[in-house]
Structure formats: C-alpha cells, structure tokens
Amino acid sequence: MKNKIFKNSISALTLLFTVIGLAQNKSSNTVSLDVYYSKIQAEKNPQIIDARGPEEFALNHINGAVNFNLESKDYEQQLAKLDKTKPVFTYSIGAGRSVWLADDLLKKRF
C-alpha cells in the first residue's frame, strides 16, 4: 500500500518533471523521472526536498518530502536537519527552484 501511494505521488508529479527535462538551463544534476524514482527507492530513508511554495506542497507532494527552498524563512534551520553524508533529492514544478536549491546544497558540500 505504501509503495502504491508513493508511485501515485510520483505519477502525479510526472508533468512537473517533464518541465524540468525541457528547461533551457538544465542542471547536470537533473535526471529523468525514472532515474529519480530509482534513486529514491535505492535509499533506506531518502532526504527529499520539495522546493515549491507551501501552497503547492499542500496540494500534492512525494510522501516523506519536506518543503522548503532558498526563500524560506527557516532555510538554514532546515539545512541543519539534513545529513551531509546522504544524497538529497530536490524537485519543483520547473527547473528553477529545485536547481537553485541543488546548486546551493552542492556549494555547501551536500
């Protein structure tokens, strides 16, 4: 049941990741939906960040994801909760917020 809910959440976000794939400023850390799903499944407790706004997050999100981005008031506190020894998965509607967040995480040695 849990796996089905996760797959449904992923399916609902397919359109979102399609936009990422078509973005002009595509990050080297941007991957296809299939690769993203496989990498999350390979992790015991994946660190998933939904970089969209709180309203968008409330509508739908990947189970287990936390919601914050570079513009969040508690950005530094949220970062402090992450384990730098494990991968961090980010996503948003377009490549904008999640790529900026991923780039900032890389600069901070995540």
pLDDT at 93: 82
Residue 20, C-beta contacts closer than 8 angstroms, at least 6 positions apart: 26, 30, 91, 92, 94, 95, 98
Sheet-wide strand order for 66-67: 66-67, 47-50, 88-91
Query: How much is the average pLDDT of 58-70?
Result: 94
pLDDT at 33: 87
pLDDT at 7: 54
**d(Cα 17, Cα 9) in Å, to the nearest integer?**
12
- Domain residue spans of the chain: 2-107
Closest CA to 12 of 68, 65, 60, 52: 60
Domain 2-107 fold is Oxidized Rhodanese; domain 1 (3.40.250)
pLDDT exceeds 60 at position 17: no
Task: Please state the pTM of the whole predicted model.
Answer: 0.71
**d(Cα 109, Cα 8) in Å, to the nearest integer?**
32
Query: Two tokens at 80?
Result: 């402090």
Beta bridge partners of 88: 47
The pLDDT tens digits of the residues spanning 32-62 come to 889 999 999 999 999 999 999 999 999 999 9
pLDDT at 94: 75
Query: How much is the average pLDDT of 17-45?
Result: 71
